[in-house]
A and B are shown apart, each in its own frame.
Chain A
């Protein structure tokens, strides 16, 4: 079972601040993902990575950026937070392998921008 840790769990912060949401996994999974989840809505992929130094934008346009310098770490950064960034952010990972490997999720960061 994948262990994925997200910090902080909750963050309330003012407009214009720079924010970094942390995500770490201990299973050595190559693939990692960031999703945005709003109440009553489906998850939307905003970034993903296939391994170190690999990052791609997802389907949902996002003003955030990500980096993947280490296999276990996939932080997401907002340079200047706005109220429209208020949402829950979920990090996930999946192993490399034949076929389609299901994703395992962290418990999320609930972000509120005032």
Chain B
């Protein structure tokens, strides 16, 4: 069983829709959670970074962490065609070295104008 499970999609939504992207994990030691956006032929770009449980908002993006359910989400409000990309969740348990980072396989999102 993978440590991090992410629905691969693909997910297609109309412009302006609210998008929900999710990951589940099995390692209860994970406490640092990240979402990356990866455009085609580009490297992952850090979108959101949260520690432990709770919500974090940045513009149209909201990250949620529910450690009791081992479930994290990324919400995109008022989605735009420029949001079309693959979204990767990532998580780590260690405080200092983060060579233990684990990634989801990514969800491909298309936002249609």
Question: Could you pull out 22 A-B pairs where Cβ atoms are within 8 angstroms?
Answer: A6-B43, A31-B98, A42-B2, A43-B88, A45-B99, A90-B43, A90-B44, A99-B32, A99-B51, A99-B95, A99-B96, A100-B94, A100-B98, A102-B32, A102-B34, A102-B46, A105-B43, A105-B44, A106-B43, A107-B41, A107-B43, A110-B41
User: Cβ of B45 and Cβ of A42 under 8 Å apart?
Assistant: no
B residues with CB within 8 A of A: 2, 4, 8, 31-32, 34, 36, 41-46, 49, 51, 88, 90, 92, 94-99, 101-106
Q: How many A-B residue pairs have CB under 8 A?
A: 66
User: Cβ of B88 and Cβ of A50 under 8 Å apart?
Assistant: no
Given contacts A105-B45, A107-B42, contact A42 B51 (CB under 8 A): no
Interfacial chain B residues near A63, Cβ < 8 Å: none
Interfacial chain A residues near B34, Cβ < 8 Å: 102
CB of A41 within 8 Å of the partner chain: yes
A residues with CB within 8 A of B: 4, 6, 31, 33, 40-43, 45, 48, 50, 56, 58, 90, 92, 94, 98-108, 110
B67 CB, min distance to chain A CBs, angstroms = 15
Interfacial chain A residues near B36, Cβ < 8 Å: 105
Distance, CA A44 to CA B43, complexed state (A): 14
A42 CB, min distance to chain B CBs, angstroms = 4
Interfacial chain B residues near A92, Cβ < 8 Å: 43
User: Cβ of B103 and Cβ of A42 under 8 Å apart?
Assistant: yes
Interfacial chain A residues near B101, Cβ < 8 Å: 45, 103
